[in-house]
Amino acid sequence: MFWPIVAIVVLAISPAMGWWFPTEAFSPLGKQIDNLFYMILIIVGITFIGTHIGLGYVLWKGVDNKAPKAWFSHGSHNLEMLWSIAPAGILMFISLYQLDVWTKYRVQSKFPKDMITVAEVTARQFEWRIRYPAPGKKLQPTPQPDDLYTVNDLHVPVNQRILIRLRSGDVQHSFFVPGLRIKQDAVPGTIIPVWFETLAEGDYDLTCAELCGWGHYKMRGRVLAQRESEYHAYLKQLAADQAYDGHGDARTGGADVVKVEKATDKK
Amino acid sequence: MRSYSHALLVVAVLMAGGCQSQRAPEFVLNSQTKALVPAAQDAVRNELQSAFGTPTKLTVWESLPVDFGKFEGKVTSVSDGRAFVKLAVASPNAAARRLPEMKGAAVKIKGADSGLVVASYNAETGALGTTGSDAAVLTADADVSVIGDGLQFGRDLYLRHCMHCHGVSGDGDGPTAKYFAVRPRDYRKGTFKFTSTKPTIRPSRDDIKRIIKLGVPGTYMPSFMLLPDDEVIAIGEYVRWLAMRGELENKLDVELGNDYSPDAAKDRQLKEVKQEIESKLSGKVTEFGTELTEDWNNAEDEGNVVTPVTARVPSDADSIERGRKLFISDKVKCFSCHGETGRGNGVSTEDFNDIPGGKPGEKSKVAGLFDIWGNVVKPRDLTTGIYRGGRRPVDIYRRIAAGIKGTPMQAFGGSLKDEEIWDITNYVFSLPYQNKPAAKHH
């Protein structure tokens, strides 16, 4: 009896203790998604415990049954109805309950109106190629001569609603940022808008979530949420690096060396 | 019944491991070496092994300009036969960081072997415990140096991140290499395409670091932007070490190639050949080592960086037009390889061209452009906006001024003025955004 009780107690307290997810969600939509997970946990938890109590009761009771003959059952219509309609009702509830989160995430007309389009992210075997517009300019659908390019390192301003345009350079990939609860497949031939908002500055892992070849496991990048001043400073630095003409700089020690910014704080 | 099920479980677990035994990684010999007579091959193999070792047991050749992970320090005090020395990493390129794992490393005093070997080292207290022939040589104020396993650190990272394409020997023929249209680099010629150095100079450490960090867009070389700096530097050191090993093999092949190819030496007595080779090679490896050291140290020389003398000419319509004229001019003939529309379909791609690295004037019997590694070269399609060696103005300037080593893209820095190179650069940058061809088709 001890372990089942421990299991139930752990199940009951795990959401409050934050044991259910590797990190908390650092985006508002991510928190709503976490709530959906918890809702499912509750429904499934109750069902699981209930059915296993029932199972345990039947096993326990059955020991005392000295009846010599088995009882032939023709089935029970009521039972069939019950265990079709009840789960159907629960599933119907879940699918309707999550509709608004899905819509906010996926239906373009319901995207926030104040989004900033930060970059076009092209997934490619086995890296994330990022194209920013020049500082002060808007991102255009086609590459512009003054666009800024980098790899695997997506900087976004914190606490703002961000839009990226997700593309694929070759096969299917998936833009997965677990800390922000974002996952969107990158489908070749499509440009998919993905929006999110980060609530805290820091470094968020970006991994590929759609098997894309031998390097899928190491297709890592990062999303760095920075305060606006640092974000704009980063873009200016990127623009300066990209316009570097090497003149007068005998050694590359400064400008030619690739620098990667450290995250300000990892929550 | 119980004992059978236990036995079955044990058998199942053992079989789950698979039947193939794990082979230790080994360096391979290049094709030129394999074309020599066996005695010569053995000689080359032995020299390489003693100078560089095996992938699992690397040999430290201190005079090479490679960061082997050296630590230096002065003995501060000696008590109870125990010496106290604070060892600090010797070079600023700190590929060396595995201080605690120096057990078994040789202790040198004033640069000479002391016969002592590290048994233990406590980085906090500085207590150095040694075993070996004469512990009494460790006196106070002695200059101590120990080579840690910094290069092994680079090797471990290389085997994890790079080996599957670039191969254990850096030959560009790892297990995944055969699936790529653009082959991974074979380091063994010491030639790297996208560098900041002059045409005859090796790549600098910064060049290698740059390629590792940024990758090579348009090829399968990924970007390792998120690896920590010290790991990237360590990998770079190991790549340079592999390149030097390959170059030593080339030099030995050149030394032995004439007299010990199968045609020249097939009927000769083995013992005689072996003795001859031995005397021919005596002292040669040291000489070659000096050449390697000079070559690779020159790469770090600031004077060998291709630096524009003038600032970039502003990219206005006039400059682009001048660049276009140069592109189609007979002086530069960019169009002959890159095509009149810049799509990489120039006439040279169908012509019989000079053999790369071969005798001047000798034409290949196969049409097309080739690099020194024997691969077909497709001149860059300049309309895609993908620039393998980097997309900064200085990168394109360097490609034009210093060429791309190992490929038919030659260095035009000698025949063009700086402003002309900038004009062509501006024209090249404009190509992805315009639809006009450089010239009308003839």
> How is the beta sheet containing A173-177 ordered, strand by strand?
A153-157, A220-226, A202-208, A173-177, A182-186
Query: In this complex, which of A145, A245, A257 lies closest to B312 when CB atoms are compared?
Result: A245
Q: Are residues A171 and A234 in the same domain?
A: yes
Structure-token match 């036969």, residue found = B81
Q: Is the peptide bond before A37 cis (omega within 30 degrees of 0)?
A: no
Q: What residues does A193 pair with on adjacent strands?
A: A165
A166 burial level (CB within 10 Å; 0-12, 13-18, 19+): buried
Q: Are residues A100 and A183 in the same domain?
A: no
Do strands A220-226 and A182-186 pair parallel, antiparallel, or not at all (unpaired)?
Answer: unpaired
Whole-number pLDDT of residue B97: 58
Q: Are residues A124 and A57 in the same domain?
A: no
Contacts of A260 in chain B (CB under 8 A): 213, 225-226, 229
The type of residue at B366 is V
Q: In this structure, is residue A250 part of a structural domain? A: no
Q: In this structure, is residue A143 part of a structural domain? A: yes
- Asked if residue B211 lies in contact with residue B224, where contact means CB atoms within 8 angstroms, the answer is no
Q: In this structure, is residue A18 part of a structural domain? A: yes
Whole-number pLDDT of residue B102: 66
Structure-token match 């599957």, residue found = B164
Q: Determine the Cα–Cα distance for residues B298 and B305; give it in Å rounded to an integer.
A: 10
Query: In this complex, which of B223, B394, B433 lies closest to A244 when CB atoms are compared?
Result: B394
Shortest Cα distance, chain A CAs vs residue B123, angstroms: 28
Q: Determine the Cα–Cα distance for residues B43 and A53; give it in Å rounded to an integer.
A: 78
List residues in chain B touching A: CB distance below 8 A: 164, 176, 196, 204, 206, 209-210, 213-215, 217, 220, 222-223, 225-226, 229, 302-303, 305-312, 385, 391-394, 397-398, 429-430, 432-433
Whole-number pLDDT of residue A253: 40
> In terms of residue numbers, what domain contains A169?
113-242
Whole-number pLDDT of residue B438: 62
Q: Are residues A136 and A226 in the same domain?
A: yes
Q: In order along chain B (442 residues), what is the average pLDDT of each group of 10 residues?
A: 78 76 84 90 92 90 87 80 74 56 72 78 76 69 81 91 94 92 93 94 93 91 88 93 96 89 78 86 92 94 90 93 94 92 91 82 87 91 92 94 93 93 95 73 44
Q: Are residues A83 and A187 in the same domain?
A: no
Q: In this structure, is residue A258 part of a structural domain? A: no
Lookup: tokens for B171: 């030959």
Q: In this structure, is residue A263 part of a structural domain? A: no
Shortest Cα distance, chain B CAs vs residue A239, angstroms: 10
CATH superfamily for B317-433 is Cytochrome c-like domain (1.10.760.10)
Q: In this structure, is residue A28 part of a structural domain? A: yes
Q: Are residues A191 and A217 in the same domain?
A: yes
- Which segments of chain B belong to CATH 2.40.30? 70-148
Q: Are residues A123 and A229 in the same domain?
A: yes
Q: Are residues A98 and A168 in the same domain?
A: no
Whole-number pLDDT of residue A265: 42
- Asked if residue A212 lies in contact with residue A122, where contact means CB atoms within 8 angstroms, the answer is no
Whole-number pLDDT of residue A96: 95
Nearest-5° angle of CA A221, CA B240, CA B24? 80
Structure confidence by residue, pLDDT tens digits, A235-261:
999 998 888 888 866 554 444 555 665
Q: Determine the Cα–Cα distance for residues A25 and B25; give it in Å rounded to an integer.
A: 44
The type of residue at B417 is K
- B27-33 contacts: CB < 8 A, separation 24 or more? B27/B52, B27/B54, B27/B55, B27/B168, B27/B169, B27/B245, B28/B167, B28/B168, B28/B169, B28/B171, B29/B249, B30/B171, B30/B188, B30/B246, B30/B249, B30/B250, B30/B253, B32/B249, B32/B250, B32/B253, B32/B257, B33/B249, B33/B252, B33/B253
Assembly ipTM: 0.81
Whole-number pLDDT of residue B434: 82
Whole-number pLDDT of residue B99: 56
Whole-number pLDDT of residue A264: 45
CATH fold, domain B70-148, is: Elongation Factor Tu (Ef-tu); domain 3 (2.40.30)
Q: Would you call A246 and B397 a contact, using CB atoms and an 8 Å cutoff?
A: yes
Q: Are residues A88 and A125 in the same domain?
A: no
Whole-number pLDDT of residue A258: 59
| CATH number (domain holding residue A191) | 2.60.40.420
pLDDT in tens, chain A (267 residues): 899 899 989 988 988 888 889 888 999 999 999 999 999 999 999 999 999 999 999 888 888 777 777 778 888 999 999 999 999 999 999 999 999 999 999 999 999 999 999 999 999 988 999 999 999 999 999 999 899 999 999 999 999 999 999 999 999 999 999 999 999 999 999 999 999 999 999 999 999 999 998 889 989 999 999 999 999 999 999 998 888 888 866 554 444 555 665 554 443
Contacts of A125 in chain B (CB under 8 A): 220
- Asked if residue B395 lies in contact with residue B294, where contact means CB atoms within 8 angstroms, the answer is no
Q: Are residues A139 and A217 in the same domain?
A: yes
- Which segments of chain B belong to CATH 1.10.760.10? 317-433
Q: Are residues A118 and A238 in the same domain?
A: yes
As for how many domains chain A has, the answer is 2
CA distances from A174 to A5, A24, A184, B388 (A): 40, 21, 5, 25
Q: Are residues A123 and A56 in the same domain?
A: no
Q: In this structure, is residue A74 part of a structural domain? A: no
The type of residue at B61 is W
Q: In this structure, is residue A134 part of a structural domain? A: yes
Do strands A127-132 and A153-157 pair parallel, antiparallel, or not at all (unpaired)?
Answer: unpaired
Alpha helices (H) in A64-218, listed in sequence order:
77-97, 99-106
